[in-house]
Amino acid sequence: MVNHPDPAALYPDVARRGSLAVALQAMAEEGGFALSATASTSSPLDHAGVESRLPHRNALWVSSWQSKRLWSIRGAEAFQGMALVEGDTDDLAQVARAAQAWQEGAALSDIRKAAPFVHLTGRSEVPHCDPAHLTESEWQHLRTEAGEQNSPAHHALVEAAYAEPALRGLYPFTSHWALRFSTTTRPQLTIAGPCVIAGYDKQGYMVSEGFAGEGVLARAATAQEAVAAAVRHLPRGLGPVTFGAFPDEDQR
């Protein structure tokens, strides 16, 4: 069992304020701007939420680390709950600036300018939840993520799949490092076609029916060959991507 430091010892400034939300508001006031934050009812020293004026954004969630003095943020879009911005920092003033920009509806790139620790996930905002735009947004996220990871084979696979129109038109997602495809967006995916796995057994690529390599359909030496094999095993008649769940009334 891991014994973490007392939160009041790690965050005495927050403890003095009584909650992370109040500490954020005080930090904003010191910086000359206004911020409205809500404390977690279950753990007020550790968590706070900051609502956005934009209805297609969820509240920005701010969390304190238990093992060391550090804060994490996560700002997600409202329809799928997928992260648009993330980041970790030990500077509460930077957290307050990021939160204020999120609250005011600043563009994602401007949130990063306001607080450089903010990481953009590559997803774009899709206010009207158009399935085609959600699909493109998720592709851009996977391309961003793959480019940041230490896996050239996986990066090559994502780029090769994106370059193939038959796959680019499907909603992409990953599961255990396998690239997979859906005919619906989140929150309810509808899996279509095979999985493509990079670096399976530390060499080459595998196209299979299951994400753990079950039901091998093809093996390939390059990402392009793997993608071509995946296309050959796509079901016929796949239409445009649709919603994985019917959107709220105000999103119709």
- The enclosing H or E element of 72 equals strand 71-76
Q: What is the pLDDT of residue 203?
A: 73
Q: What is the pLDDT of residue 8?
A: 81
For residue 56, which of 37, 73, 76 has the smallest C-alpha distance? Answer: 76
Q: What is the pLDDT of residue 250?
A: 42
197/223 Cα distance (integer angstroms):
9
Q: What is the pLDDT of residue 245?
A: 77
Q: Where are the alpha helices (DSSP H) in 32-151?
A: 92-104, 108-114, 131-148
Question: Could you tell me the sign of the dihedral formed by the alpha carbons of 54, 58, 59, 65, in that order?
Answer: negative
Counting every residue, how long is the chain? 252
Ranges of each domain in the chain: 7-120, 131-232
Q: Enumerate residue ranges in the chain where pLDDT < 50.
A: 249-252
| pLDDT tens track for 33-76 | 999 999 999 999 999 999 999 999 999 999 999 999 999 999 99
Number of H helices, E strands in the chain: 9, 11
